[in-house]
Amino acid sequence: MSELQIALLAIGCAVVVVVYGYGWWQQRQYRRKFETSFRNSHADALYRGSADEPAIGMPPAQPQQETAGAVDEAMATPVTGEMERIEPVVASAPLLLDESCALLNAHSDFIIELHLQEAAPAAMLDGLWQRKFDFGKPVQVCGLSLNSGQWERAVAEGQTLYSRLRVALQLADRGGAASAAKLADFRDLVQGVANSIRADITVPDVQDAHRCAVELDAFCAEVDQMAGINLVPPGERLLTGARIAQAAALHGMALESDGAFHLPDAHGRGLLTLSNMDSRPFQRHTLETATTAGITLLLDVPRVEDPAAQFDVMLRIAREMAIELQLNLVDDQRVVLSDTGLARIREQIAGVAAKMSEHGIIPGSAQARRLFS
């Protein structure tokens, strides 16, 4: 290497060192300026300096009064003089008692209660969430919110902290009663989860719960009735899907994915259905070419409010459709329905509604809709 090359290399190294040193000096000056500005600005929402300065979004700690249904013991987080990193919490208005949690009771549900040693989100019930659909009946989890002191429906992905949890398996639905084996399996699962998180647990007797399930199922089977009116054309004439769809639309009915036309009630829930009498579902893409020998209006008695009054609505629609489409109102044996026969059906429906109410299950209520599902 020549002397010229050595000199050029030395000059290049010197330039690199100077540029790097100047950049380091500028960065140091900028950091000092930034830190001074940051100390004079607002506190970081992710940090809390002391107990007297709550983090943004965190309400200041207040003594809690013990009330019925409220948290038994306030959970306090120790705070030191050092800055402590916490998760941001979105403040929200206190929640009312969730309707689905208010429905839980020993007559309709097998309820296991967990008392947590420390408040935690529902995600801690990891083993339960994975097997939630293994028991043949709906499983619901309700938690006593540490923030609001109210019972609310808990979900696996929620971040709300709970001091107590109620895990409930519904005892009966239209699929029948929960078996003793399923109840015992459910109990063992929840006990295992409780042991893994060191929670105290209150468990009802499985045999008592199974007896309640059988009794509830027997009663529900007794009152589980559908009221139907068939509409058929005279002779051999067939109805076209297009005409049926037009008539259904005139009465506020819309075709849904189950292949039937549905009329919603004032709450948007199903009130009446109009289906194909031969049980084949109606489909949007074949309505223009489809034909049928008749249609059926159906009223699911336990699931509607004031079933007798809703039967009157169904009868009015049936009579109007009969005029529009030139149809006859007949029973399942294709015998024309008389006014006397229709009055008898209405009387039976009113009797079912009265029996349900006497049993504490109001037709069309949230409790009735979940038991008759």
Q: Which of 198, 221, 244 is the last residue of a domain?
A: 221
Q: What does the alpha-carbon distance between residue 352 and residue 127 come to, in Å, rounded to a whole number?
A: 41
The DSSP secondary-structure symbol of 349 reads H
Q: Name the residue range of residue 251's domain.
A: 224-371
Q: What per-residue confidence (pLDDT) applies to 122? A: 95
pTM for this one?
0.70
pLDDT of residue 63: 36
Q: Can you tell me the mean pLDDT for 240-255?
A: 95
Same-domain check for residues 234 and 326 = yes
Same domain, 106 and 194: yes
- Residues 130, 69: Cα–Cα separation, whole Å: 29
3-state secondary structure of 112: strand
| DSSP-assigned letters across all residues of 160-216 | --EEEEEEEEE-EETTEEPPHHHHHHHHHHHHHHHHHTT-EEE---HHHHHHHHHHH
Give Cβ neighbours of residue 357 (< 8 Å, ≥ 6 apart).
Answer: 363
From the CB of residue 47, how many other CB atoms can be counted at a distance below 10 Å? 13
Residue 214 domain flag = yes
Q: How many residues does the chain have?
A: 373
Establish if 363 belongs to a structural domain. Answer: yes
Render pLDDT for 258-312 as a digit per residue (tens, 0 to 9).
999 999 988 888 999 999 998 899 999 999 999 999 999 999 999 999 999 999 9
213 lies in the same domain as 122: yes
The CATH number that applies at residue 172 is 3.30.70.600
CA distances from 143 to 108, 138, 240, 339 (A): 18, 17, 52, 52
- Please state the rounded mean pLDDT for residues 136-144: 96
Q: Could you give the strand order of the β-sheet that contains 109-120, starting from the edge strand earlier in sequence?
A: 151-153, 139-145, 162-170, 109-120, 200-202
pLDDT above 50 (res 242): yes
**Do both 198 and 238 map to the same domain?**
no
Q: Give me the chain's average pLDDT, please.
A: 81
Do 276 and 157 lie in a common domain? no
**CATH code for the domain of 363:** 3.30.1400.10
- The total number of structural domains in the chain stands at 2
Single-letter amino acid code for the residue at 160: T
User: What local confidence, expressed as pLDDT, does residue 354 receive?
Assistant: 97
% helix, strand, coil for the chain, step of 5: 40, 20, 40
Q: What percent of the chain has pLDDT over 90?
A: 68
Please tell me the number of Cα atoms within 13 Å of 135 on its side-chain side. Answer: 32
Q: Give 366's contacts (C-beta < 8 A, 6+ positions apart).
A: 99, 100, 103
Quick one: 194 and 288 in the same domain?
no
Does 3 reside within a domain?
no
How large is the C-alpha radius of gyration of the chain? 34
pLDDT value, residue 13: 61
Q: How far apart are CA 287 and CA 272, in angstroms?
A: 20
Do 263 and 178 belong to one domain?
no
232 and 357 part of one domain: yes
Q: Report yes or no on 304 lying in a domain.
A: yes
Is 120 part of any domain? Answer: yes
Q: pLDDT value at position 124?
A: 92
The candidate with the shortest Cα–Cα distance to 324, out of 265, 264, 245, is 245
Q: What angle separates helix 206-223 from helix 339-358, to the nearest 10 degrees?
A: 160
Return the half-sphere exposure (C-beta side, CA atoms, 13 A cut-off) of residue 38. Answer: 7
Q: Output 340 or 56, whichever has higher pLDDT.
A: 340
Residue 143 lies in a domain: yes
pLDDT tens per residue across span 30-50? 344 333 333 333 333 222 333
Whole-angstrom distance, CA of residue 118 vs CA of residue 77: 10
Verify that 181 and 236 share a domain, yes or no.
Answer: no
Query: Residue 12: which H helix or E strand, with range?
Result: helix 3-39
* 318 and 287 within one domain: yes
Q: What single-letter amino acid sits at 366?
A: A
For residues 256 and 216, membership in a common domain is answered with no
Instruction: List the one residue out of 299, 291, 295 whose CA is nearest residue 270.
Output: 299
For residue 353, tell me if it sits in a domain.
Answer: yes
189 plus 247 within the same structural domain: no
231 neighbors 295 (Cβ within 8 angstroms): yes
234 class by beta-carbon count within 10 Å (0-12 exposed, 13-18 middle, 19+ buried): exposed
Choose the final residue of a domain: 199, 221, 243.
Answer: 221
| The domain boundary residue, chosen from 202, 221, 240 | 221
252 in any annotated domain: yes
What's the confidence (pLDDT) of residue 267? 86
246 contact partners, CB below 8 Å, separation of at least 6: none
Are 81 and 171 in contact by the 8 Å Cβ rule? The answer is: no
In DSSP terms, which residues pair with 141 in a beta bridge?
167
Residue 277 token pair: 């009498």
